[in-house]
Amino acid sequence: MRVTSREVFDGDQAAPTAVAEVLRLKPLPHHRFLAEPISSSGRRTIYGGQVAAQALRAASLTVPDGRVAHSLHAYFLAAGDASAPIMLEVERDRDGGRYSGRRVIARQNDSVIFSMACSFARPKDNAPEFQAAEMPDVEPPAQLPTHQLNASRTFDLEARVPQDEPWYRWPARLWLRIREPLDDDPNVRACGVVFLSDLCTGLSRVPQIEQVGLLPSLDHAVWLHRGGDPNQWLLVDLHPLATAGGRGVYSGQIFDEAGALLADLTQESLFDIPAARARPIPAQNNELNKYPLR
């Protein structure tokens, strides 16, 4: 189904300013949902965390009551157009006794820009709990100034950056929260966590990062271990893993202020240096172990 922005977006209609608005989708027949444009004029790309969160929200609206998102694996296939609507098509793979599997495709006009597989589960009481990762010892957000974000892409997301090891262009460790209240629904809160999970990159500490341009996301995976509230401060801590073949991979954890591990994530991005910009790294700097990985 081809949908144009003219059919669903009035030029006089105010663009959304909060993540809560972005997550309110218009239901359509046959397990489809429509996300309205976030801009009424001028072409600009869409933040990947927005599309991932909207796709997860669409999938959550098709599962039995009481089932909450616990994992997703997504592929970013083309840049989204912020001035066009997004059609989200949900495939109901299976509803078992406790788990539900879904696949979601996001389309703009005739192009598929994003695809995702995700899973939902009915929470189990009295399940054993354990976490190996500990939250790093950083300044609490109340002691830090606000870090400027691109509000046209991240809406009411607020960031504060603790003192950390050197990074280039994007912080690899930061406190984040969504200011405007989200709906009181565990799946909406899970979508809020996913919204912030794609911000910045763990590749900002990799040698030669200063020679690389933008780092478009290729694929993104998130495992949601515990319910978290993205209206409260959450710490996103990202770590580079490897670069090869024109791609780079990093992992990360998301903690609440009490130190509980809410989510793990892994992302692969383009990581390519144009031949005209490439230059050798001094031997003393060409060591990945100068960046402690956890």
- Report domain extents, the chain: 5-123+152-286
* Closest to 269 measured CA to CA, from 246, 292, 289: 246
Please state the pTM of the whole predicted model: 0.89
Per-residue pLDDT of 37-46, as tens digits, reads 988 665 578 9
Q: What is the DSSP secondary-structure string of 18-60?
A: SHHHHT-PEEETTTEEEEPPS-SSS--BPPHHHHHHHHHHHHH
Per-residue pLDDT of 142-167, as tens digits, reads 999 999 988 778 999 999 999 988 88
- Residue 186 CA, distance from chain mean position: 17
Give the whole-angstrom CA distance, residue 261 versus residue 264. Answer: 8
Per-residue pLDDT of 66-85, as tens digits, reads 999 999 999 999 999 999 99
CATH domain 5-123+152-286 topology: Porin (2.40.160)
Token pair of 15, please? Answer: 């663009």
* Closest to 95 measured CA to CA, from 64, 59, 54, 68: 64
User: Can you tell me which residue has the tokens 């911000």?
Assistant: 199
Q: What is the pLDDT of residue 280?
A: 54
At CA 226, angle to CA 222 and CA 229, rounded to 5? 90
Q: Are 205 and 291 in contact (CB under 8 A)?
A: yes
Q: For the chain, which residues score pLDDT lower than 50? A: 1, 4-11, 283-294
Question: Residue 211 phi/psi, 5° resolution?
Answer: -95, -10
Token pair of 65, please? Answer: 């009551």
DSSP 106: E
Token pair of 147, please? Answer: 């870090």
Q: What is the pLDDT of residue 2?
A: 53
